[in-house]
Amino acid sequence: MGAAIITNLPALLVAVPLLLAPVSALLHSASLAWMLTLIGAGSSFIAALMLQSITENGVRISYHLGNWEPPWGIEFVVDSATSLTLVVMTGLGFIATLAARRLVSSEINDKDSGKFYAAWMLVSGGLFGLVMTADAFNLFVFLEISALASAILIGMGAGTDRRALVAGFHYLVIGAVGATFYVIGVGFIYAMTGTLNMGDMAARIPEAGGGAVLHVGFGFMVAGMLVKAAIFPVHIWLPAAYSYAPSAVSTLLAAIATKAALYVLARIVFTIFGGVPEIADIALSNVIVPLAIGGIFIGTVMAIYEADIKKMFAHSSVAQIGYIALGLGLTTPAGVSASFIHIANHALIKGGIFMAIGGFVAALGARANLDSITGIGRRMPITATAFLICGLSLAGLPLTAGFISKLYLVRAVLETESYLILALVLISSALSIVYLWKIMEVMWMQPAPVRSPKLAENPAIYLPLWIVAFGNIWFGIDASWLVAAARSAATALLGGGV
């Protein structure tokens, strides 16, 4: 039995959450549904850790679903890049689930909780599958599973704020456009190569004789993923979706959703089109790098002018996604590994921040904005301290995870000797301190307004919140595991082959 589980780890990682979802939909009890979700998320996390330990030394697992040989059957591929992404996503998914119980019970009707957790598991399972699959069309299926379920989760914020419905609908429509672009691109490439398996595509594309069709197909696939990853200027769905969704959902989506799309983007550019650098490299240096820098600045500036806390950090996510995309756009091993480091660290930072905001919102019973959180540092010290740690990490203060990200990104940029980009990265980092300072000043240095109600702390989220805050410090002091894993991920991606 043990051997059967090890062989089938890639399938189990996806199948367990996807199969627990319908069971959860039938449950009436919110706590039972939550426990089921916790089991699903936990077993995915364990599976991802096991896969990581198998693949960290460059082993590549190829899993044939239904025992059909690729390129005919659907193949799951796990190499060191996949498993690092999976560990980050499943880990943060698990922590977000831990925090969900309390956050959900304050915002979601008990009657709907079973279905809420079902959608929660569909999002997770869909995104895990998205990362593992090596079949370009199967990827589209997972994309749809996770997108439809996330639209449901976002819309469930309607219980507290009706604008969640509009945000969910926007996400549904814009996300569908992105997925359609992707599938059109796959169609073009399929017409040229006659295959849907990514490794097989990569081998056949150089022989397919270039031509406009390949360029168009590539363009559609990349454009679709840019929408899904919320890269400027197609990021507009993200701020509303993150800020009106229930707090627990913001945590989950901020930590894992766009990461999967960024990973797929890297797969398309480096794996599928790795054999035709004349297409891939132009797209990276002429499109992705400028867009990434645009996103960094727009996201940061919008965050500075925003008074609503959730929306502020949603805008900041756009900027952080820009940093990740910038690392990919550099096309060097150092750049790609900096991206992976930031994928992990940003998940930790934003997971913690949205969890803490969820705690504030639950205590305040209202949206968190610069007015309502005045003096909250003294009113809810334990949550606010964790928030402060994650905030400092976002700013990139030394001894936090965010610093390691910035350090490796700056080093990677220096290596390519593009000083303009370097200057822009440094300026934008300085700008991000502006909005963080605005919040911290209000939270810690201003006294709470007189006659403000006493806020009850939310002990149920201490454990997950402090795991994340501690992670931010831990990976700031000893990042050797993460850096090594990110290096081998970059080698696996740039080395060619799925």
Partner 1 sequence: MKQNPVFRVVAKILFAPIIMFGLYVQFHGDFGPGGGFQAGVIIAAAFILHALVFGLEAGRKVITARVNLWMMALGVTTYGAVGIASMARGGLFLDYTALTGSVVSGQHIGIILVEFGVGLTVTSVMLSLFHAFAGFVEDRAK
Q: Chain centroid to CA 62: how far?
A: 24
What minimum distance in Å lies between the beta carbon of 127 and partner 1? 18
Measured at the alpha carbon of residue 130, what is the angle toward residues 125 and 136, in degrees to the nearest 5? 145
Helical (H) or strand (E) element with 64: strand 61-64
The single residue among 6, 11, 54, 484 that binds partner 1, judged by CB under 8 A, is 11
Nearest partner of 270 among 356, 318, 328, judged by Cα: 328
What x/- string results for residues 50 through 79 when contact with partner 1 is judged by CB under 8 A?
-------------xxxxx------------
Q: Compare residues 11 and 46 and give the one whose CB is closer to partner 1.
A: 11
Length of the chain in terms of residues written: 498
Cα–Cα distance for residue pair 269/201, rounded to 1 Å: 12
Question: What are the helix (H) ranges across 112-162?
Answer: 113-132, 136-155
Q: Of these, 22, 194, 398, 453, which contacts partner 1 (CB under 8 A)?
A: 22
23 forms part of the interface with partner 1 (CB under 8 A)? yes
Stretch that binds partner 1, among 9-17, 201-209, 216-224, 250-258 (CB under 8 A): 9-17
For position 12 contacting partner 1 by CB under 8 A, the verdict is yes
Give me the least distance between CB of 224 and partner 1, in Å please: 25
DSSP letter at 497 equals -
| Binding status of residue 15 toward partner 1 by CB under 8 A | yes
What is the C-alpha separation between 130 and 132, in angstroms, rounded? 6
CB of 339 to partner 1, least distance (A): 31
Residue 397 lies near partner 1 (rule: CB under 8 A):
no
Cβ proximity to partner 1, 27 vs 443, nearer residue: 27
The dihedrals phi and psi of 125, each to the nearest 5 degrees, come to -60, -40
Q: Does 19 bind partner 1 (CB under 8 A)?
A: yes
Q: Do residues 371 and 480 make contact, with C-beta atoms less than 8 angstroms apart?
A: no
Q: Which is nearer to partner 1, 14 or 240 (CB)?
A: 14
Please count the residues of this chain forming the interface with partner 1, following the rule CB under 8 A: 19
Q: Which is nearer to partner 1, 22 or 449 (CB)?
A: 22
- Indicate the residue among 9 and 498 with the shorter CB distance to partner 1: 9
Binding of residue 8 to partner 1 (CB under 8 A) = yes
Yes or no: say if 257 and 146 are a contact pair by the CB < 8 Å rule. yes
Beta-bridge partners for 75: 64
Nearest-angstrom CA–CA distance, 250 and 253: 5
Contact with partner 1 (CB under 8 A): which of 25, 141, 424, 433?
Answer: 25
Cβ neighbours of residue 16 closer than 8 Å, sequence gap 6 or more: 40, 43, 44, 47, 125
Q: Which is nearer to partner 1, 4 or 212 (CB)?
A: 4
Token pair for 160: 């507290």
CB 395 within 8 A of CB 475: no
- Give CA–CA dist 200/465, Å, rounded: 43
Span of 20-28, 224-232, 367-375, 434-442 interacting with partner 1 by CB under 8 A: 20-28
Q: Smallest distance from the beta carbon of 67 to partner 1, in angstroms?
A: 4
Positions in the binding site for partner 1 (CB under 8 A) = 1, 4, 7-8, 11-12, 15, 18-19, 21-23, 25-26, 63-67
